[in-house]
Structure 1
Amino acid sequence: MRNWRNSMFFKLFISYLVIFAIPLLILIGVFYYVNVVGYQREVAEANTAKLTQVRNQIDLELKSLREVIYHLSSQEEIYSTTDPMEREGLLIPQLVAYTEHYPFINDMMFYYRGDTRMYLSTGRYAYDTFENELKKDYAWTKAGFFRELNELSGPAAKRVEAKESGLSVQGSTIAFLFPVPYLETFPQGTVLFTINEDEFLSKFTNIMGDMKGHIFIYDQYYEPLVTYSDPGQAVSSEQLRLDLRKLKGTGVFQLESGGEPFVVSRMVSEELNWSYVIAVPSAVFYEQVYAMRAWIMAITIVLLVIGVFGALLFSSRSYRPVKSLLAYFAMTPHAPDPAEGKNEWEIIRHTFDSTLQKNEEMLIQMNAQRPFVKDQCLLTLLKGGKVDKTERDYLLKCSNVMMTGEAYFCMAITARAAEADRTFLEEELSSLLETIMFPGGWGYGVEISEERYTAVIVALQEAPEDHVQKRSDIAKNLIDTARKKAGVSLTIGIGKLYPDLDHIGSSYLEASAVLFDNQINDKKSVHLFDQMDNGEQQVHWYPTKEQALYIQSLKQGDEAIALEAVKALIEQMTVGTTSYLIVRCLCFDVVNHILKAINQLNAESFAGEIKELLKFNTLQEFQSGLEEFTVLFCKRVNELESSRRLERKNSIITYINEHFKESELSLEHIARQYGLSASYVSRFIKEETGVTFMDYVTSLRMHEAKLQLQRSDKLIQDIVLDIGYLNVPSFVRKFKTIEGVTPSQYRQIMGKP
């Protein structure tokens, strides 16, 4: 019996459910965002706007205090008279007028420095009387406050707490002190305004309504001036004040204090640099938002339940024709085996798929051969002078690669990516650069898996006048195309332009050399070999290009180009400087780069050869020793490459031989196993075995199938599953195509009943 999860009815049910659920969830999501999220944002913005109104209103009232101070400062007769009675006559009426004109001022006091009397709107008092009688309900510090009155040099504000024994119902008061005359170097007096804390809190109540939270006003030093906490709050204002110090800037913030989440609104006064802070529990602040969210979730659940019943009804009706057709196929003489398919539709479709599948397999085998010839041709061109011209022209003709132009150059291209994504991006890059077309020319790309980049050979119909600009434009267009189509950022190294294909190998080495020389340079994406020594901090005679080309040719094992690079390197040293010490330093730098190349290649130790190379007294001796070392090194690099290639071949072939029975075995699986790209593995197997990956695996499986047909009594179906096939008819067709008989006939021929 088929698994109910694979049945057509179940899939129809899931399809209808998805068709219903996706639009519903999208609609609910949009509705939720527009209403809940939007309303939540509106609540926060409205709260911020109200807090801004509170700030502006308080700032406006406090600004009027400065106007009073400016007016008092202009009354010169107050400061010039020495008669206390005359000063009292001048001051008291003005103080009364100020307190009447500005009702938010609780009281106003003038103190002439050095005096022991205070001037209030109600008269003149001795300081002791002022503190002990008039302000006895507040915690005035006699000595400290008196000293502050005499030493004040700038505006100040302070919170004066009410004594427990006093009239605490009025709350604390805020004292504002100003030196007068204002902005004078040596002020002669001090003016004190007192405003009840309730006056500030009333602004919040009038604008924001009943506040179920905490209110704070801080001065420019973040000292509290006004504090209020709703009696029902579980978190103390002291704990909350400590946590509020962590917030910076203005706006609406989320804060957790004492295990309870708060929504904090903060504004800063432009006039006084005061901070206005409101902290409300999130449950209170977003109370209506949470209620709306609960309703939306309930409606969503109800609609989903309705959708489930609707999906059951529609899937039942849609399944009836499929059920009837399956019953008809079951009554025919050629009824399909239920095991052939996973569900009803696949069982019905199996008869029609057999022929199509066979044709597709043949087409795949034909298409699989096409990329190998092209890749082999391009790799041959990159070898440059190592390849016979006749062989090269033959490969060009067979692979249908057009290399007819007046100028040629090579680009080495790699993708910037993390190591985890590199294999995937290399395959994307290889596919993107397989063939490129542009006005005036074209190019072909081939993956260089050992170096983890793609080489592109470009042919230009006409030699450009500005060859540097032309090559740069082609590279930049490639970068833009890769970014738009594949989302890949490329780094491109460009070799020199040559008039024929004989030097394309040199251009390839130059491109790879400049690419590796700038592999940590993230500021530029295009690097030309011609411009390697044009850096702002590069000494003009330092042989940068020659050295990079020499090291890269060593890594590639290209003896001819490496020896040419040695000559160019020595010539540049000779022309660049006449200092013997500098020449020795340059020689040692070349040796240092050689050591780095040896380390990168994981090659065997060249300690003895390096020691011999360093035993030079003249530049000619160094050149002679370097040429001998180059020949030896290139020989060993080629031997090492052959050894590694053989080792890789043996490893991959052994892996295939051991795992060919696994149905999940594929090019992608092997590529992941060895950290290579699937295209490279496919080309590698074709080059080393002479057949494609699929043909090689098929031969192993067929050989194993014949052995089991001869030596065991297993059912053919069991043998097919054991050797990695999932489709018995497909295996039977393939077996008959190769052997000329079916598996059953082969077993009979070999003497098995």
Structure 2
Amino acid sequence: MKSYIQEKALFFKYLMSYVIILFICIAIMVFFVNNQFIGVLKDELIANNANTLNRVMYIVDANIKQFDSIQTHIQMNRSLNPYYGLNDPNLAIDAQRELGKYLVSNSLIKDMMVYFRGDSFIYSSTSSYSIPLFINQAFRYSSWNEEDFKRDINSLKVPKVRSAEDVIKYDREQSRIVTFIFPISSFGVDAKTTVLFLVDEQFFTKIIKDNFGGYHSSIMILDKNNQVITASNNAIRLSADRLIEYLGSNENHFTQTVSVDNQKMFMSVLKSNETGWKYISFTPVNEVLKKTDGIQVDFILVVILLLVIGSIVIYFNMRTNYKPVKNTIDYLSNQNKSLISSTRIASKDFILDSLLKGRIHTPDDLKQQGEPFAISFRNPLHLVIIVLLHTPHSIKSQAVPELLDQFESTVNLFFNGYVREHLDQKKMVCILSLDEIQSECLMAELDAFQIHLKEAISIQTTIGVGNVYEDVKIIPQSYVEASAALDYRLVKGNGGIIFNDELSNQDDSLDSYPHKELDILKSLIKQGNDLEIEYALNNIINYMKTCNTPLFVARGLCFDILNIVWRTFAEVNKELLLPKGEYPNASMLAEFETIEELTNLVKNFCSHICTSIRESKAVKDQSLINDAASYIQSYFADCDFSIQNMADHFGMTLTNLSQYFKNQTGQTIIEYTTNLRMNKAKELLLSSDSNLNEISIQVGYLNSSSFIRRFKQITGLTPGQYVKEKKK
């Protein structure tokens, strides 16, 4: 009966220990998730909101930047030059035509006007107006009177933006307009021309709505003077003083929590480097964080369920397996005792194994069990190191005893300690005993030990070092630390000594993760630049070595490198196939001990594909330029021909297409098109009876005056003079 009670007590003792362990693990997990993952999720949601605001800023800046290009074109446009235009009787017609071209190519601008300072008229794409007629009837602004209007268009020296305001056009159409005023000067003299761009406020509100659809955020756009240019439809109303108070002295990007109408909000502010405008979003805190609140509730319910299910599973598992396990343990215990009594080596390994597993708790227990086998630690401090042998093959079992003797002899030249074989045959575990002096100069002692060991066994080694402890029962912790330090050779490389202290100072955050360097690597692979690829890879390696990168981050970064190399190559040239064994893949991570070995593989692979990419790119470049030339030859005589239409046809931006064409042919698209038109015109002048208006249209000019001016500019003769010269 007593034996039965003792057996049940032991059963429930172990049952409760497992349940407590389960509870501790779940408690740690709950604490970690709440303090780490939930916090990270909150930061991610806030950062996502800021990124959305940044996207709005980028879209607006990109569109506003077009105004600089248009005013540069106007400055170079003879038809809109005050020195020529004011004396031209066709000024109004020419101005309407030229301004109409800009409107057709830019959907952002609702209307635009040009004014030559000192003139009594202002010209738009549809008509010309006297100043009073324009401001009092044609475009009646709610807060821009005739006097202020005249002053602005005649004396403004720097560009100005008027906030969104109601504008009534001919007492019929009313809309809110943001007006951009640009004074244009030539060759550094005072401005002679003023250009007005009228942009519908809906352009800005649509961008805001498209990007902030997920949150009920209130968005404002401020100019350089902190005046509100425009705001979202649901924008909160703040006084100018209150807004300036929120902005404070911060100049660039920041996010802070503010209180607006007794409601806490995240206020994100971005300042554009292009325009100097500020983009501000106000998002209710409870709306941003409600996602995390829901996750927390679900997580707590799952944890409770896991705890209940885990306890039930442990109970039934203990009932099923307790007896055979107990019998097995008893059997192994008897066998171990038999082995201890029969062999000294096995006994020594058993005691050292007990030390590493924490079965020996006090120096007295160690002395009692170790003395019969001459195992004793003379010094008060204890340390575990693991030595990795860099051999191409596993060590043969026959050579292990001799190698252990060489190891132990070398260890005892520098320390008091013992050595046992690791489960991995290429590793040796050393339990060392140190005094205070040795502890203080441990690095020097281990350096000398490693050098002497290499001389003794003629094998290069890497050593992982745990922390020094006084308590015998903490030796297992030093063993775990030594294992972790040795694994960190992935970052530190082979052949050195790695201390666990180097791991304890690591920053587990991913804020400095080299996303930029990875993006650069991807871009360089697409360009086929193998020298720059090697430089980029070296930068990533230096990041891991100098930033004290955690092991899990280093392994993830190695995977990202392999993934980027292959996926980028597949994107650039899907038709190019390599032998199956040459494809990089995630399984290769297990084959490398250091990042240098991985990097060498990536460099070799990139060298191969860069050559293939460059060859493929050369063929594609020639094909594209031939297609571009064929397109121009097909449509140059069309009056509606434009570079923008051509860029849309080839799926490129106007700037990229123009630069690419000039780089490949040595001439611009306009020059190439003009040459084709002039050659065609010369042929028609000499071989057809068509008049100049007909010939102008046949070669792509809407009117004969433009054709004659261009023909004379190219040939030095008018069409009539050219015909006479040829007939002579």
Report the TM-score range of the alignment, normalised by the length of the smaller protein.
Answer: 0.3 to 0.5
Q: Which has the larger radius of gyration?
A: 1
Bigger RCO (CA 8 Å, 6+ sep)? 1
